[in-house]
Structure 1
Amino acid sequence: MATWITICDTCKHDPEDGAGDGARLAELVETAARCTDLRTRRVSCLMGCGHGCNVTIQSAGKLCYTLGRFAPEAGAAEAIVAYAVLHADSDTGQVPYRQWPQGVKGHFVTRHPPLPPA
């Protein structure tokens, strides 16, 4: 099953320049994920505005995580992708803390159990 990184592209939207931090982070995550088997997609609002910039990491049958409070920087995008690779390699989606990239520590907002199979 594919592991998805869903990026809110409307986080901290700046009407003055027509973009915002979410769109900038989305571009960086998409670039960082190009050489992986991860899938990315953008959505307009993950409803975590108090934690923007937000992403979710999810795969069928695994724990799903929402992370936020990122700056739109290459280092953040690389840490998100590195964590998502570990999530993809895990049977349950749970990654031991000692393996977390430094750039995602302190950014976890929620964890959701997988949906039941039926």
Structure 2
Amino acid sequence: MTTWITICDTCKRDDWDGARETETHGAALARLVEDAADGGPVRTRRVSCLMGCAHGCNVAIQAAGKLNYTLGRFAPEAEDAEAIVAYARLHAESASGQVPYRQWPQGVKGHFVTRHPPLPGDDG
């Protein structure tokens, strides 16, 4: 089953300067996550706004039938992108989407914003 990393490409951290920067922090993070996720059971997609502006840069880790997570407060840096992808790969390996804390990459600790239960099936 595919785990998706949904990346907000419109996120701007407090230090964003539109006069100096040609892309948003979210777009820069998206590019780094896409590069880090190349191949494997994880796919990426970009969206414009996850409505977590106070926590930018934001990503969602999602898969059908599993717990889903929103993470934020990332920097547009390769180290953060690699931690996001490493966590998403563990999510993909988990039957429920829950990854034991002791397995979390250091780079995602302190970045969890929300957890969502799987959607119920069509029968309720």
Tell me which interval the TM-score lies in, with the shorter structure as reference length: over 0.9
Looking at structure 2, the residues matched to 18 and 99 of structure 1 have their Cα atoms a distance apart, in angstroms, of: 36
Q: Which protein shows a greater Rg?
A: 2
Q: Which one of the candidate residues 29, 33, 36 is aligned to 1:32? A: 36
What is the letter of the counterpart of residue 35 of structure 2? Answer: T
Question: Which residue does the alignment assign to 2:59?
Answer: 55
Shift of the 14–44 alpha-carbon distance from structure 1 to 2, 3 Å rule, reads farther
Q: Secondary structure at 1:19's aligned position in 2?
A: coil
Q: Secondary structure at 2:69's aligned position in 1?
A: strand
Instruction: Give me the TM-score of the superposition, normalised by structure 2.
Output: 0.91
Q: Secondary structure at 1:75's aligned position in 2?
A: helix
Looking at structure 1, the residues matched to 78 and 69 of structure 2 have their Cα atoms a distance apart, in angstroms, of: 20
Instruction: Give me the TM-score of the superposition, normalised by structure 1.
Output: 0.96
Q: CA deviation at 1:19?
A: 1.2
Looking at structure 1, the residues matched to 23 and 88 of structure 2 have their Cα atoms a distance apart, in angstroms, of: 25
Q: CA deviation at 1:14?
A: 4.9
Q: Does 1:70 align with 2:71?
A: no
Per-residue CA deviation, residues 14-66 of structure 1 (Å, 9 max, x unaligned), is 53334111000000000000032211000000000000000000000000000
- Provide the alpha-carbon RMSD of the alignment: 1.1
Question: Which residue does the alignment assign to 1:5?
Answer: 5
Looking at structure 2, the residues matched to 41 and 56 of structure 1 have their Cα atoms a distance apart, in angstroms, of: 10
Q: Which runs of 4+ in 1 moved over 6 A?
A: none
Aligned length in residues: 118
Question: Which residue does the alignment assign to 2:18?
Answer: 15
What is the letter of the counterpart of residue 8 of structure 2? Answer: C
Greater alpha carbon shift after TM alignment, 34-43 vs 64-73: 34-43
Q: Does 1:88 align with 2:79?
A: no
